[in-house]
Structure 1
Amino acid sequence: MAAVLSRGFSGFRRPQPPREIPSGQYYETGFPVLTYGPTEKVPQDEWKFTINLGEDGSKSWNWDDLMAMPQTEIHTDIHCVTKWSMLDSDWKGVDLDVFFEQAGLGDDIDEDYLMVRSFGGYTTNLPVADVRDGKAFIVHEFDGKGITMEHGGPVRMIVPHLYFWKSAKWVESIRFMDEDAPGFWEANGYHMYGDPWKEQRYWGD
């Protein structure tokens, strides 16, 4: 029998992040695809984003409307609840405040919470304060290219300061709420808020 020499198994070493990331996270140099359920296929010319205004009806935007709005380039870090962190990601889209202004809301939003809905039915809840003042964006480009369907294209939302499940893929609509209520993952064990720096992953965190 021939002898087999082995240096042993040293394990997989993840790259070290260039700066601090939240506790419990690891530095990811790629962009993992994580989706519950099927990937939604939303044709660009059929995409529409709607803000529901209650008794005042609603305001909607299509792709051409989105392209005509003031564009913002966003350079930010992303932290996923499944423990990967992607640093220095580049996005392009429209500040959610611009949509509020065009919907006639300005600073006059009486409700404290909102529910974001995606094509396909996914939902996630957010405090209104966490999507104002340059904290949330409706984006259509990632890394200089159109967002792929797997990553939520043609248009998704990003709320970079919260765990990434709060950044709804295939974003379709927003409705305001007087009281907080759980979206899909929040009703299935995830934290109602989701601050990565406080490790708010699950109920009770």
Structure 2
Amino acid sequence: MSEGTGSGSRSEGTAVPPGQRVRLHHKPIHYGPVPRFRADRWDFRVMGATSSLGVYRWTWEEFAHLPRSRSVSDFHCVARFSVPGMSWEGVRSADLAAAAPPAPEVTHVMAWAEYGYSANLRLEDFLAEGVLLATHSGGAPLAKERGYPLRLVVPHLYGWKNVKWLRALEYMTADRRGFWEERGYHNRGEVWQEQRFFHQEEPGHGPPL
């Protein structure tokens, strides 16, 4: 099992990113109900523009046998609070991409969760150091309301990109907005640049009206 520190955490010589305040504990925030986990029905898929043009699929038991890693990083919510030093355990995005390689022309990834929730990421953000498909936090399995059994952890992007109840990744050869990006949030969401809302994007790059 490998260990690392998440990128985007306490960088640029500043304790927290601009506009954030430290909060040691926080109530989970999510859209919609907490889904019920059924191990016998659960699977995880990588689809879209894969190098083989096929779909990769793991059952819950198979996913548990993928290479494991640990990392420590700060979590940054767009609601202006940051939780320092959170520990995570799971599968590195780079290890998953090695097991399910994207085609050379892939530029973006769509993360899909239960109930159709989605968030788009640039491929380089998805493959950045510290990014995990996490099954554990603080040495224990994820709590249900925090994304059990699987969530995405992207330390340098705001919390809505850290998709809970993750079920699939879609490789894309062009960008496409996810759930909150279509509803006025910034398309990338980088915390150190304080990319919160679409009006901060370049003119002509906002969500469809």
Q: TM-score, normalised by structure 1?
A: 0.85
* Residues 126-166 of structure 1: per-residue CA shift (max 9 Å, x gap): 00111115342111001011101100111111111100110
Q: Is the counterpart of residue 65 in structure 1 residue 62 in structure 2?
A: yes
Please give the secondary structure, in 2, of the residue aligned with 1:60. strand
Q: Which residue of 1 is the match for residue 92 of structure 2? A: 95
Q: Which residue of 2 is the match for residue 7 of structure 1? A: none
What is the Cα-based RMSD across aligned positions, in Å? 1.6
Q: Distance in 2 between matches of 1:112 and 1:47?
A: 28
Partner of residue 149 from structure 1, selected from 139, 144, 148: 144
Q: Which amino acid aligns with 1:116?
A: A
* Residues 155-203 of structure 1: per-residue CA shift (max 9 Å, x gap): 1111111001101000011112222111000000100000111111101
8 Å contact kept, 2:108–2:122: yes
Q: Distance in 1 between matches of 2:40 and 2:95?
A: 21
Q: Which residue of 1 is the match for residue 207 of structure 2? A: none
Deviation at 1:41, TM superposition (A): 1.7
8 Å contact kept, 1:43–1:154: no
Q: Is the counterpart of residue 46 in structure 1 residue 41 in structure 2?
A: yes
8 Å contact kept, 2:187–2:198: yes
8 Å contact kept, 2:109–2:126: no
Q: Is the counterpart of residue 36 in structure 1 residue 31 in structure 2?
A: yes
Q: Which amino acid aligns with 1:42?
A: F
Q: Percent identity?
A: 30
Structure 1 unmatched ranges of 5 or more = 1-18
Q: Distance in 2 between matches of 1:144 and 1:162?
A: 23
Q: Distance in 2 between matches of 1:148 and 1:44?
A: 15
Q: Distance in 2 between matches of 1:181 and 1:162?
A: 17
Q: Which residue of 1 is the match for residue 113 of structure 2? A: 118
Q: Distance in 2 between matches of 1:123 and 1:133?
A: 19
Matched residues, number: 185
Q: TM-score, normalised by structure 2?
A: 0.83
Q: Which amino acid aligns with 2:43?
A: K
8 Å contact kept, 2:73–2:130: no
Shift in alpha-carbon separation, 1:52–1:76, aligned structure 2, 3 A: same
Partner of residue 21 from structure 1, selected from 16, 25, 28: 16
Deviation at 1:57, TM superposition (A): 2.1
Q: Which residue of 2 is the match for residue 197 of structure 1? A: 192
Q: Which amino acid aligns with 2:58?
A: W
Q: Distance in 2 between matches of 1:67 and 1:166?
A: 23
Q: Distance in 1 between matches of 2:77 and 2:48?
A: 31
Which segment drifts farther, 173-182 or 138-147?
A: 173-182
